[in-house]
């Protein structure tokens, strides 16, 4: 999504449209105005997604405690007929449109929109048939890992690797692990899969953020990593970028007081803009990682570095000793690192006190 290798910032509209078309379009406008890379919604069918599952605690908003999860999700569906219009509107605003698919039918529908990348939600990390179908389509994926152990992340990657490399579904779990044991399996994920660290709570307490787990996944799997944030405020996603996140996903809303399961843990428009600005600031400051003289430092380097000078009168042919040499900011001459090279050598010219030493002189035995 970013041709210049910037951190990808996904403004997660999710279900914060509350089933209202105008609100969905307004969320696109807010995301575009913030400078985010993409605005992302969620594509699902409530009947397919939830059967008899209860609500999570964070979903039990005021006045809806007795509502089932399926009933809640039915109110928050993004109709298929809105998708194309939202995508066209997003692109007209200079931002990419994305959506998360929670089932195979929804994924197949999203494929018709030719999105640049597809999101695997945390809840589907163990949904092996869906994971395999995602990968078998040869699409690039952002895989969220909320609620997961490191072993479950590896299991998901093994399924994805099999899907990327085979035309037919595996006959058993053993077949997936047998393929994963080959060195080529992990290589098949490079350039295709980005892992997002995530804590699936809304909002999440700081002591449960565990940003260091992002580093663990990067080291273990040698894949690009990012962070899907559910904390309050913008400090943690900015910190994640400083730790190496290549993708940041953050929920936002038009108004945090709106009814719905995700609004309370979402940024309001001005906060989203501030997060994008801070991330871009940190990103610019990270640089290349190469330790080298910066262009603006050359003048300071010339003024601040000391050089070798004569500490007292020196005659040509004199053998130089410690007491003959000193250092000072002279703007030119030999570096003080040459001090010990000069001691014991023969001066090849006269020097007045304070004069810059410009040559290393000759050997004592010549």
- pLDDT digits over 315-338, tens only? 999 999 999 999 999 999 999 999
Q: What average pLDDT does range 285-308 have in this prediction?
A: 95
Higher pLDDT: 242 or 69? It is 242
What pLDDT was estimated at residue 55? 42
Q: What average pLDDT does range 92-100 have in this prediction?
A: 97
Across 54-58, 147-151, 199-203, 261-265, least confident range:
54-58
Higher pLDDT: 363 or 127? It is 127
Computed over every residue of the chain, the mean pLDDT equals 92
Question: Confidence class of residue 365 from pLDDT cuts 50, 70 and 90?
Answer: low
The correct answer on CATH 3.40.50.300 for the domain covering 293-366 is no
The answer to whether the beta carbons of residues 320 and 344 sit under 8 Å apart is: yes
What pLDDT was estimated at residue 59? 46
Per-residue pLDDT tens digits for 99-126: 999 999 999 999 999 999 999 999 999 9
* From the candidate CATH numbers 1.20.200.10, 3.20.20.70, 3.40.50.2300, 3.40.720.10, the one assigned to the domain spanning 8-286: 3.20.20.70
What pLDDT was estimated at residue 151? 98
Q: What average pLDDT does range 261-272 have in this prediction?
A: 94
pTM: 0.87
Tokens representing residue 70 in the block: 């399926």
Question: Confidence class of residue 5 from pLDDT cuts 50, 70 and 90?
Answer: confident
Is the pLDDT reported for residue 274 higher than 90? yes
Question: Confidence class of residue 359 from pLDDT cuts 50, 70 and 90?
Answer: confident
Domain ranges of the chain: 8-286, 293-366
Question: Confidence class of residue 300 from pLDDT cuts 50, 70 and 90?
Answer: very high
Higher pLDDT: 51 or 233? It is 233
Question: Confidence class of residue 2 from pLDDT cuts 50, 70 and 90?
Answer: low
Q: What average pLDDT does range 172-199 have in this prediction?
A: 97
Q: What average pLDDT does range 162-182 have in this prediction?
A: 98
């Amino acid at each position: 999504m970013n041709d210049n290798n910037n951190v990808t910032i996904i403004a997660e509209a999710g279900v914060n449209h509350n089933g209202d078309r105008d609100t969905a379009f307004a969320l696109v406008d807010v995301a575009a105005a913030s400078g985010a890379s993409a605005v992302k919604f969620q594509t699902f069918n409530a009947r397919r997604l939830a059967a008899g599952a209860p609500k999570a605690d964070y979903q039990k908003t005021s006045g809806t405690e007795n509502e089932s999860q399926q009933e809640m999700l039915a109110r928050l569906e993004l109709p298929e007929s809105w998708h194309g219009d939202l995508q066209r509107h997003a692109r007209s605003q200079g931002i990419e449109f994305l959506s998360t698919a929670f089932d195979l039918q929804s994924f197949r529908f999203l494929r018709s929109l030719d999105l640049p990348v597809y999101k695997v939600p945390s809840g589907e990390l163990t949904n092996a048939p869906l994971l395999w179908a995602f990968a078998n389509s040869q699409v690039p994926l952002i895989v969220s890992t909320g609620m997961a152990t490191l072993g479950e992340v590896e299991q998901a990657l093994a399924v994805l690797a099999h899907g990327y490399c085979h035309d037919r579904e595996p006959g058993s779990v053993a077949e997936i692990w047998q393929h994963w044991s080959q060195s080529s399996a992990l290589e098949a994920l490079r350039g295709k899969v980005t892992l997002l660290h995530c804590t699936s709570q809304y909002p999440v307490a700081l002591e449960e953020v565990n940003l260091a787990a992002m580093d663990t996944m990067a080291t273990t799997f040698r894949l690009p990593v990012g962070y899907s944030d559910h904390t309050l405020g913008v400090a943690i996603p900015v910190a994640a970028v400083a730790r190496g996140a290549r993708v940041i996903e953050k929920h936002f809303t038009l108004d945090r007081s709106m009814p719905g399961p995700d609004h309370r843990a979402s940024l309001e428009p001005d906060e989203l803009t501030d997060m994008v600005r801070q991330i871009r600031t940190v990103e610019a400051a990270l640089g290349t990682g190469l330790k080298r003289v910066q262009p603006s430092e050359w003048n300071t380097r010339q003024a601040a570095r000391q050089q070798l000078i004569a500490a007292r009168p020196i005659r040509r042919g004199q053998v130089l000793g410690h007491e003959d040499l000193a250092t000072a900011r002279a703007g030119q001459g030999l570096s003080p690192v040459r001090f010990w090279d000069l001691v014991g050598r023969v001066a090849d010219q006269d020097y007045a006190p304070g004069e810059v030493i410009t040559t290393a002189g000759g050997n004592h035995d010549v």
